[in-house]
Amino acid sequence: GAVVSQHPSRVICKSGTSVKIECRSLDFQATTMFWYRQFPKQSLMLMATSNEGSKATYEQGVEKDKFLINHASLTLSTLTVTSAHPEDSSFYICSARLSGGNSPLHFGNGTRLTVT
Amino acid sequence: GNSVTQMEGPVTLSEEAFLTINCTYTATGYPSLFWYVQYPGEGLQLLLKATKADDKGSNKGFEATYRKETTSFHLEKGSVQVSDSAVYFCALSELYTGNQFYFGTGTSLTVIP
């Protein structure tokens, strides 16, 4: 149980275009999902917390107008990278947890974004 | 505040060697502790967890014991395999900080035949 599916796994886009990444909880409902960014050989950087039915909470330094997050249902959150630039190239990973307290995070397989 | 410190890598071991990856933490309350593993090009997978002091998490031959007195959660495996090559992340989650996750910087492990 607790499977998180992320799509696409890889995407290449041109500068100035927008890219949407989907994150789905397949066998559970997730009122909260988390979006991380990972730079090569580095740890995870929490970008934002996605809350179902309300606005996302962004971490300091993350541009909310550039990284649009929508959590329209209990099983789906999307991250849209708007007007992408080469510096946005990175590995983006979503995660969710079954409930609060001691429950672990479950991660999607990540999306490798390359902006040319 | 909360934080996790892991030993820096990369770590290179021969097959069947003993593995230890050190992890220490700082927390204001009573955190839950986790080890995650990331294989190349993939997301993170939960490897094991421990929710209170003296708990031992174990999975796939890996073990880690929650040591409150030394604020540590070191990952061990008695005999590593080539397929264990991956990046390992120590993490904590604590009620007092809204159950936000704090990750270590990750330790890259390469096992050679």
Q: Is the pLDDT of residue A88 over 80?
A: yes
Count of CB contacts below 8 A, A vs B? 53
Q: Which of A32, A102, A103, A107 to mutate to test the interface with B (most CBs of B within 10 A)?
A: A102
Taking Cα atoms as reference points, which of A56, A82, A86, A60 lies closest to residue A69? A56
A58 close to B (CB below 8 A): no
Please tell me the predicted confidence (pLDDT) of residue B1: 81
Which pLDDT score is estimated for A80?
97
* A109 interfaces chain B, CB cutoff of 8 Å: yes
Q: Cβ separation of B43 and A102 shorter than 8 Å?
A: no
Mark A24-45 as b/e (b = at least 16 C-beta within 10 Å): bbeebebbbbbbbbbeeeebbe
B43, B49, B91 ranked by CB distance to A93: nearest: B43
If you average pLDDT over residues B41-54, what whole number do you get?
A: 92
Position B98 scores a pLDDT of: 65
Residue recorded with tokens 């770590």: B11
**What pLDDT is attached to residue B96?**
63
Give the model confidence (pLDDT) of A27-41 as tens digits.
Answer: 888 888 999 999 887
Give the pairing type, strands B56-59 and A32-38.
unpaired
Say if residues B35 and B73 touch (Cβ distance below 8 Å).
yes
pLDDT of residue B8: 85
For chain B, give the mean pLDDT. Answer: 93
Please give the pLDDT value at position A99.
67
pLDDT at A90: 95
Q: Which member of B46, B105, B108 has the closest CB to residue A104?
A: B46
Instruction: For residue B39, give the nearest of B80, B77, B76, B88 by alpha carbon.
Output: B88
pLDDT of A28: 87
Q: Do A46 and B49 touch (CB under 8 A)?
A: no
